[in-house]
Amino acid sequence: MSTSEPILIIGGGIGGMATALALANSGRAVHLVEQASEFGEVGAGIQVGPNVMKMFDRLGVIEPINDIAFFPENLILKDALDSSEVARMPLDRDFRERFGYPYATIHRADLHSVLVDACAGNDLVKLETGRKIVHVDQNPDGVSVQTESGEELTGSILVGADGIWSGVRSQLIGDGEPRITGHIAYRAVLPMDEVPENLRSNSVVLWGGPDLHLAHYPLRRGELFNMGAIFHSQRYLQGANVYGDPEELHAQFAGVCGEVDTLLGKIEEWRMWVLRDRDPIEHWSDGRITLLGDSAHPTLQYLAQGAGMAIEDAWTLADRLDHTGDVSAALREYEALRVVRTARVTLFSRLYGEIYHAKGVGRAVRAQMLAGWTPAAARESFNWIYSGI
């Protein structure tokens, strides 16, 4: 093993692909291995703040991203019980000027394809599917991994971008399973023309209710409509991508206003996710091995920044390797630059979940707290995220 060997990336999700691209852009050979038989992402939308659009620009993929994105007009918080508007942040020219980039919504599969295509077009990137890594190892000169079928792959550095159930993390940190939050997400995408015209909106709209919310926004240049219904549930099933139970959903959302009820009724088949996160940790690198994205700092989605943090990680990692000769020092620097920012996203996501899901007096506090919110105040409250790195 030697440092002339490629950097091994475990996991071909958004984080792994962004890392492959960032490293190849700075002239490094990369070998990415994914356990699934083909690369892909779930059929759902993703919100992308200006901090992430800045990363797409730096990664050289802003044009294809702009081609498939939708640019919403506002972020709006409404009360799911009485339909009143609680707060609004215009995503207008002032917003773009403040943060340098727009706010976008993107179909996950579209975003992932942009990254896969950019990687596939770069000779320094080797992409492989159908290879599950079961063990990782290192010595002073390099890293090695074993696949489920017993092969050994070697490299100079190992990046565990293997998601919230990361096997690399369990070997490196060994801190058990991610935390069950008791929150469940049902997600669905439908063609825009199936949405009643009076309920279509060019904004990201979040209807917050007691222990629940519904969020929706257009996708893919406005051709699709994405919905995510989140609620607190005792149904702690493991894993993802299983089908949701519409009866449970409608029971949980009993009592919401007519608009929310009508929108929920448009979907017959939901996909379900059990939402988990982890308490932030101070270190996730050891020698030549590091973690990235959800494997390092899985977060709840209430700030819509999990994938964004993975993409920022990717750029930061490549940047540190460019500037620091010693591998293990570079990985420590990368980690140090990312720990507080990603921890803040994790902890504030929990807090925003509480605000969205406020009930009783909490709901009145939310209304009072946000009543006088001006667009400028709204922008400044998100400055720490949207100004980016």
Ligand X SMILES: Cc1cc2nc3c(=O)[nH]c(=O)nc-3n(C[C@H](O)[C@H](O)[C@H](O)COP(=O)(O)OP(=O)(O)OC[C@H]3O[C@@H](n4cnc5c(N)ncnc54)[C@H](O)[C@@H]3O)c2cc1C
Query: Smaller CB distance to ligand X: residue 87 or 185?
Result: 185
Site for ligand X (CB under 6 A): which residue of 50, 163, 178, 388?
A: 163
Site for ligand X (CB under 6 A): which residue of 7, 9, 15, 338?
A: 15
- Window 241-300: residues binding ligand X (CB under 6 A): 273, 275, 293-294
**Structure token pair of residue 290:** 């590091």
* Interface region with ligand X, contact rule CB under 6 A, candidates 4-12, 135-143, 249-257, 359-367: 4-12
Binding mask 113-142 for ligand X (x = CB under 6 A): -------------------xx---------
| Half-sphere CA count of 50, side-chain side, radius 13 A | 20
| Half-sphere CA count of 237, side-chain side, radius 13 A | 13
155 binds ligand X, rule: CB under 6 A: no
- Window 83-102: residues binding ligand X (CB under 6 A): none
How large is the greatest C-alpha to C-alpha distance in the chain, in angstroms? 63
312 binds ligand X, rule: CB under 6 A: no
Query: Smaller CB distance to ligand X: residue 281 or 367?
Result: 281
* Interface region with ligand X, contact rule CB under 6 A, candidates 157-165, 189-197, 281-289, 345-353: 157-165
Contact 204, 214 (CB under 8 A): no
35 binds ligand X, rule: CB under 6 A: yes
134, amino acid identity: V
161 binds ligand X, rule: CB under 6 A: yes
- Window 181-240: residues binding ligand X (CB under 6 A): 185, 187, 228
* Interface region with ligand X, contact rule CB under 6 A, candidates 1-9, 57-65, 258-266, 307-315: 307-315
Query: Smaller CB distance to ligand X: residue 218 or 293?
Result: 293
* 155: Cβ contacts below 8 Å, ≥ 6 apart: 1, 5, 6, 7, 8, 31, 142, 143, 144, 145
5 binds ligand X, rule: CB under 6 A: no
Q: How far is the CB of 337 from ligand X (least distance, A)?
A: 17
342 binds ligand X, rule: CB under 6 A: no
CA angle 42, 136, 123 (to 5 degrees): 60
Q: Give per-residue burial for 72-110: e unless 16+ CB within 10 Å, then b.
A: bebbbbbbbbeeeebbbbebeeebeebbebbbbbbbbbb
Q: Cα(388)–Cα(373) distance, rounded to whole angstroms?
A: 22
Q: How far is the CB of 228 from ligand X (least distance, A)?
A: 6
Beta bridge partners of 158: 8, 289
Query: Smaller CB distance to ligand X: residue 25 or 299?
Result: 299
- Return the active site residues: 217
Q: Cα(35)–Cα(9) distance, rounded to whole angstroms?
A: 12
Query: Smaller CB distance to ligand X: residue 185 or 289?
Result: 185
* Interface region with ligand X, contact rule CB under 6 A, candidates 10-18, 91-99, 258-266, 375-383: 10-18
Q: Cα(278)–Cα(178) distance, rounded to whole angstroms?
A: 5
Quick one: which of 102, 103, 73 has its CA closest to 88? 73
* Interface region with ligand X, contact rule CB under 6 A, candidates 116-124, 159-167, 264-272, 324-332: 159-167
Q: In Å, what is the CA distance from 274 to each residue of 114, 137, 248, 348, 370?
A: 27, 31, 14, 19, 29
172 binds ligand X, rule: CB under 6 A: no
Size of the site for ligand X (CB under 6 A): 33
Site for ligand X (CB under 6 A): which residue of 6, 7, 12, 291?
A: 12
Quick one: which of 236, 379, 380, 357 has its CA closest to 301? 357
Sort strands 240-243 and 224-232 into parallel, antiparallel or unpaired. Answer: unpaired
CA angle 165, 169, 170 (to 5 degrees): 80
- Residues of this chain that interact with ligand X (CB under 6 A) are 10-16, 33-36, 46-47, 132-133, 161-163, 167, 185, 187, 228, 273, 275, 293-294, 301, 304-308, 310
